[in-house]
Amino acid sequence: MANYTGPKVKLSRRVGVPIVDLPKHTTKRQLNPPGMHGFRGRRLRDYGLRQNEKQKLRYHYNVLERQFRRYLDEASSAKGNTGEVLLRLLEQRLDNVIRRLGWARSVWASRQIVSHGHVLINGRRANIASQRVAVGDKITLKTGIHNLVRENLESLPGHQVPEWLAFDPSTLTANVQAVPTSDQIPFQVDMNLIIEFYR
């Protein structure tokens, strides 16, 4: 699957919010729009507002447009609120779960940990970042990556693991306890605008 490999801070500047909780994304200077002195240009119209909201979500989960459309099609055909189902599908991606556990500092770092084959789900190697975890899955790591993961955990003081994941820091194992809900996602986005963008 294709992956965005360009400059990451530019993505935060483009949408006006930090898409990663890293200092270089959250400083006030980096949240100014691109251009000389943070030139703002014209105000966004309805289409631009909806597109900007969609881009926030895409960048936060590191998903390209075609893959995002597939998630949206799957969410719209499932039972329940389309926006909540879409968030749930994105949140259950393996690379995102690694980030939520604090094993990596960003979604790009977690994707690299997964693609290099360091993650095991129920004892089997999982090297596809978009793989979806299910309730009851046990997530472990190969011993060679333990030192790096512990360093990442120490560099994220106060990191809160979401309630739908159970994490044991002594053994670096995690269990998926429940399906994530929209109020457990630490990223603010207006799902109604995103759904309207595609209609």
- Domains of the chain by start residue, with CATH: 9-90+187-197 (1.10.1050.10), 93-178 (3.10.290.10)
Those residues with Cβ within 8 angstroms of residue 7's Cβ, 6 or more apart along the chain or in another chain: none
Q: Closest by alpha carbon to 179, among 74, 60, 84?
A: 84
H-only helix segments in 62-190: 65-77, 82-91, 94-101, 107-115, 146-154
Res. 83: pLDDT tops 80: yes
Q: How far from 25 is each of 104, 133, 136, 189, CA to CA, in Å?
A: 16, 28, 34, 17
Those residues with Cβ within 8 angstroms of residue 33's Cβ, 6 or more apart along the chain or in another chain: 13, 14, 16, 39, 40, 41
Q: What is the pLDDT of residues 43-80, one digit of tens each?
A: 778 898 899 899 999 999 999 999 999 999 999 999 98
Residue range 97-120: mean pLDDT, rounded:
93
3-state secondary structure of 113: helix
